[in-house]
Amino acid sequence: MVRMVGIKDVARQAGVSVGTVSNVINRPDLVSEETRDRVQSVIKQLGYVRSESARQLRAGQSRIMALLVLDMGNPFFVDVARGAESAAREAGLGVMLCNSGQSATEEATYVSLFAEQRVRGVLLTPADPTGASLDLLRQQNVPFVLVDRGAGEADDGCSVSVDDTIGGALAGRHLVSAGHRTIAYISGPPHLQQVKDRRAGMLQALAEAGLGPESLLEIPAQRLDVAAGRDAASRLLGLAQRPTAVFCANDLLALGVLQVVYAAGIAVPRDLAIVGYDDIEFAAAAVVPLTSVRQPAAEMGRMAAELLLEETGPRAAQHQHQRAVLLPELVVRGSSLPVR
């Protein structure tokens, strides 16, 4: 077993006290230039790296915040992570990025790990509809901020989300104004509030146009990825009476739908209009550029990290929980041109 080089090894090799080595690392202005140079030379020679865990124990606070997302294969969450990491880096902190895979079991495992590691706090998009993971964080006094999900009335924490009901309504009004009267909604896991809200927004837009809920055909998907989109598209093509437009709960589903209908020789948007959600980078680069409801993902991640930093920083006593709700916008591209 390889023994780690410790601060005592550096002090012994440099012929100084442990306190002097600590000063060279943390308060170099207190040490003479000659001693400082000698100690730094030994540090480099031995390859000494200070123990961050030991430093955190002394300081009583970690320099790591955790970010737990539903699917790191989704570029939307990559952008969320980029925004959070940017805010954390500016504050001198790092981000531990983890993926629940939309699994409540995986989420619980990671949340336990975060509590064990005494992270500064947790940013998370919950996969468990029961809220058990949040209860564990509360029990362990680990601060958390919900990302891409609004806090409920009874929740005692911050949240940063997008108004998905408005987002669904934007997609619905666009398709109705293009002449569509029968629309399919390819949803995701039914327990996700985002999936429910986007459907509610679509129904709201249909109602505004005098169309009843029967105008919306829901095709459920168990996951929010391309493979689930392909499976849903296969079921869609098997319908005796196919809707003229499809609204997907996210862009990965929409890209899966686009792959299947394109391979089947169905013209998009002439025979079938498609609208996604998130406006990931690949949306504009699809074989038929995808219309999508854009979420400010990076801004969401940054705001969530800033709220966590405020809650755990020097002025934590003055912190008040906030529920930030951002607005989506519709980005129209070739996949949803008006019906001729």
Average pLDDT of the chain, as a whole number:
90
d(CA 232, CA 292) in angstroms, rounded, equals 18
pLDDT band at 60 (very low <50, low <70, confident <90, very high): low
Helix (H/G/I), strand (E/B), else coil: 199? helix
Confirm if 162 and 80 have CB atoms less than 8 A apart.
no
Question: Which single residue is written with the structure tokens 């800033």?
Answer: 306
Which contacts qualify for 91-95: CB closer than 8 Å, 24 or more apart?
Answer: 91/309, 92/63, 93/63, 93/64, 93/65, 93/120, 93/309, 94/63, 94/64, 94/65, 95/64, 95/65, 95/66, 95/67, 95/305
Confirm if 108 and 135 have CB atoms less than 8 A apart.
no
The confidence score (pLDDT) of residue 56 equals 53
pLDDT band at 2 (very low <50, low <70, confident <90, very high): very low
The confidence score (pLDDT) of residue 159 equals 93
Q: What percent of the chain has pLDDT over 90?
A: 66
Tokens, residue 295: 């979420």
The confidence score (pLDDT) of residue 1 equals 45
